[in-house]
Structure 1
Amino acid sequence: MSSYQFHGQHLCPTSMRAIRARYDPYLQTRHRVEQLKQLGHSVDKVEFIVMGGTFMALPEDYRDSFIRNLHDALSGHTSNNVAEAVRYSEHSNTKCVGITIETRPDYCLKRHLSDMLSYGCTRLEIGVQSVYEDVARDTNRGHTVRAVCESFHLAKDAGFKVVAHMMPDLPNVGMERDIEQFIEFFENPAFRPDGLKLYPTLVIRGTGLYELWKTGRYKSYTPSALVDLVARILALVPPWTRVYRVQRDIPMPLVSSGVEHGNLRELALARMKDMGTECRDVRTREVGIQEIHHKVRPYQVELVRRDYVANGGWETFLSYEDPEQDILIGLLRLRCCSPQSFRPELKGGVSIVRELHVYGSVVPVSSRDPSKFQHQGFGMMLMEEAERIARDEHGSSKLAVISGVGTRNYYRKMGYELAGPYMVKDLYGPGMD
């Protein structure tokens, strides 16, 4: 998985690679794939993250050119438009299994979502920062918290996975109010994201916050207090949510005040042990992480189902797990779309699979490795159960999947056909009960 940037980003490692390639998306992709190949990694599956700004605020022709070049860099074809690039990318030896785009609630409207679907985008990272209207106003977010809720609803009804960026330690919030906002974030059905990136506030020279800090009107949490806060937040995360990051990848010399440790997640998890709490997010429980850090493998694997309401729809989180050891092997996110779903392909009794993922070491496409969990049938079994729930419980006549461009053939083997940007199956077709 690699990140791809456009002009104007801070100097993290991704930015440095982008600068070396002069921000050319084609060169960024080719260079990174070659680099990973030389390091001995399998590169037949690639996930793009278009990060570091509001990509959807850029001119349409630039966006189209950028996405076209990402796909063309994998296929080797020179395309005239995005649709052509996606068609060739679908059959590339190096498969694009997903594209993530960072955006804002005000650039996550219907037209933006439809554009992103045409790109092959499957996951959105939405800048939220705070659930408090006064904080959004005082930090000049330029949008309301209500807009956040509306963007989550629209995005999930279009099938996207939603990852939220949240920023504790903003001015005039305080520790207890920070904790309260995360309780609200995970328990209020208007929020409930699929994933979280936790970015504690950093004071960087040249910003308005720097001036507040310099004059003593803003003070960051102490390092110990911040570890405590992150530990308390991680204890709140539900088992269907993945915590992708707990701090920004910004060189410390650029930071005047804020996070002082480069291993904040590790420190928070250690603090949780002292507090007698645990983190049960997707990342902590996934089989690959458990094997690496705890040298444990699943023994008794079973299908686990968790249902919840979020953003106007009925969500079902299906997973294969070892409940005794709390190890996660694979997951599926199924949604019974709300009547407000705006995509024509999802109207009239359609459920949608928003994510299917089997964890563990990467196994090349069309290969099997008995010691690994990918390509052992867990994905197909999760899809079969999703089809049953959609048909028998949702009363849906069709099941759609938001699929990475390079994984469409996987769904074709299960009877799905391309309809717009989705793979769709008639649940009452020939051979169905």
Structure 2
Amino acid sequence: YCPGGPDSDFEYSTQSYTGYEPTSMRAIRARYDPYVQVRSRVEQLRSLGHNVDKVEFILMGGTFLSLDTGYRDYFVRNLHDALSGHTSYSVQEAVKYSEQSNVKCIGLTIETRPDYCHRPHLSSMLEYGCTRLEIGVQSVYEDIARDTNRGHSVQAVCDCFHLAKDAGFKVVAHMMPDLPNMGMERDIESFKEFFENPAFRPDGLKIYPTLVIRGTGLYELWKTKRYRNYAPVDLIDLIARVLALVPPWMRVYRIQRDIPMPLVSSGVEVGNLRELALARVRELGLKC
């Protein structure tokens, strides 16, 4: 159901990305070299007049914790070395010098999956200096997790949330309304469950309405008319109703993916979905 990856129509992208997002394009231009990515981005921001004394890293795309330990250490080490200018030989050394750098790393977020969020994975992320996790959940229903080939159970989501919070991480969840076999009311109920059930209740949320992109199984369902997205006005209503349910202690980091519209065969048709949903919240007399 996700685009990207080496065997996809978007062969130069990481899993779940097309390679045409601004962040992905910068990574490809740097040949995915972590040191070059950081140095070039910091210099770019400085040239635009920004005071770059603090940065936050977000490791996006694929499942970082599924990669070889040596590569992971190399990647994180070079992130920190790019800030300090020092050439380190271990993650611990890189973090030590990064702490003394003029440009401080004030946070490291790693995207992962529930099945790559066990105790050994959490220990590794703590060593990297990770402060926040982004975990793909998409749905709280077992049948939807199975039908969309998530590769893990809903119980695995609950378990990883519990472990991650106990380890001191902030947890940001990715949720995906408008999946096949859902429907408007079931989507609303899924978010109610997500916000109210103590087994879930993340610290933050990213809402990614389902997009149909070529090269995915969902594209084939859409092409044969076995799947249809919500109408634009219905999607705005849904997001508005979800925003009205969000607890005051939960931060909504993003609504909709940063995928160029020409690559989207069906789904979100506007680039300002959050703005339109908030306007709809006010029209309905609700609060967010």
TM-score tier by shorter-chain length is: over 0.9
Question: 1:261, 1:251 → 2: CA distance?
Answer: 11
Question: 2:211, 2:55 → 1: CA distance?
Answer: 31
Q: Secondary structure of 2:106's partner?
A: strand
**Correspondent of 2:217 among 198, 208, 218:** 208
Structure 2 match to 1:76? 85
Question: 4+ runs of 1 displaced by more than 4 Å?
Answer: none
Structure 2 match to 1:56? 65
Structure 2 match to 1:193? 202
Q: Secondary structure of 2:157's partner?
A: helix
C-alpha contact (below 8 Å) 2:65/2:116 kept by paired residues: yes
In the TM superposition, residue 123 of structure 1 has moved relative to its aligned partner by: 0.2
Q: Secondary structure of 1:204's partner?
A: coil
Question: 1:154, 1:137 → 2: CA distance?
Answer: 23
**Correspondent of 1:141 among 140, 143, 150:** 150
Structure 2 match to 1:266? 275
After superposition, what is the alpha-carbon deviation per residue over 1:65-118, rounded to whole angstroms, capped at 9, x for unaligned? 000000000010000011110111111110000000000000000000000000
**Correspondent of 1:227 among 236, 244, 264:** 236
After superposition, what is the alpha-carbon deviation per residue over 1:289-347, rounded to whole angstroms, capped at 9, x for unaligned? xxxxxxxxxxxxxxxxxxxxxxxxxxxxxxxxxxxxxxxxxxxxxxxxxxxxxxxxxxx
Question: 2:78, 2:213 → 1: CA distance?
Answer: 33
Structure 2 match to 1:34? 43
Identity value in percent: 78
Question: 1:55, 1:263 → 2: CA distance?
Answer: 30
C-alpha contact (below 8 Å) 1:7/1:23 kept by paired residues: no
C-alpha contact (below 8 Å) 2:172/2:203 kept by paired residues: yes
In the TM superposition, residue 196 of structure 1 has moved relative to its aligned partner by: 0.3
Structure 1 match to 2:249? 240
Question: 1:232, 1:124 → 2: CA distance?
Answer: 26
Q: Secondary structure of 1:135's partner?
A: helix
Q: Secondary structure of 1:41's partner?
A: coil
Structure 1 match to 2:193? 184
Question: 1:108, 1:87 → 2: CA distance?
Answer: 25
Question: 1:151, 1:212 → 2: CA distance?
Answer: 31
1:23 aligns with 2:23: no
Question: 1:41, 1:52 → 2: CA distance?
Answer: 26
Structure 2 match to 1:156? 165
Q: Secondary structure of 1:256's partner?
A: coil
In the TM superposition, residue 218 of structure 1 has moved relative to its aligned partner by: 0.3
Gaps (5+ residues) in structure 2?
Answer: 1-11
In the TM superposition, residue 19 of structure 1 has moved relative to its aligned partner by: 1.1
Question: 1:278, 1:255 → 2: CA distance?
Answer: 31
Question: 1:59, 1:178 → 2: CA distance?
Answer: 37
Q: Secondary structure of 1:121's partner?
A: coil
* 2:161 aligned partner, one-letter code: F
Question: 2:42, 2:60 → 1: CA distance?
Answer: 18
Q: Secondary structure of 2:131's partner?
A: strand
C-alpha contact (below 8 Å) 1:109/1:151 kept by paired residues: yes
Question: 1:7, 1:83 → 2: CA distance?
Answer: 30
Question: 1:207, 1:51 → 2: CA distance?
Answer: 20
TM-score (norm 1): 0.63
After superposition, what is the alpha-carbon deviation per residue over 1:383-433, rounded to whole angstroms, capped at 9, x for unaligned? xxxxxxxxxxxxxxxxxxxxxxxxxxxxxxxxxxxxxxxxxxxxxxxxxxx
Q: Secondary structure of 2:45's partner?
A: helix
Structure 1 match to 2:3? none
Q: Secondary structure of 1:84's partner?
A: helix
Question: 2:268, 2:150 → 1: CA distance?
Answer: 22
1:14-413 → structure 2 map (5 Å cutoff): 14-279=23-288
Question: 1:242, 1:112 → 2: CA distance?
Answer: 25
Q: Secondary structure of 1:249's partner?
A: coil
Question: 1:60, 1:114 → 2: CA distance?
Answer: 12
TM-score (norm 2): 0.94
In the TM superposition, residue 42 of structure 1 has moved relative to its aligned partner by: 1.3
* 1:135 aligned partner, one-letter code: I
Q: Secondary structure of 2:206's partner?
A: strand
Question: 2:265, 2:252 → 1: CA distance?
Answer: 26
In the TM superposition, residue 171 of structure 1 has moved relative to its aligned partner by: 0.1
Question: 2:287, 2:152 → 1: CA distance?
Answer: 34
In the TM superposition, residue 133 of structure 1 has moved relative to its aligned partner by: 0.4
In the TM superposition, residue 7 of structure 1 has moved relative to its aligned partner by: 5.6
Instruction: Tell me how large the CA RMSD over aligned residues is.
Output: 0.9
Question: 1:36, 1:240 → 2: CA distance?
Answer: 31
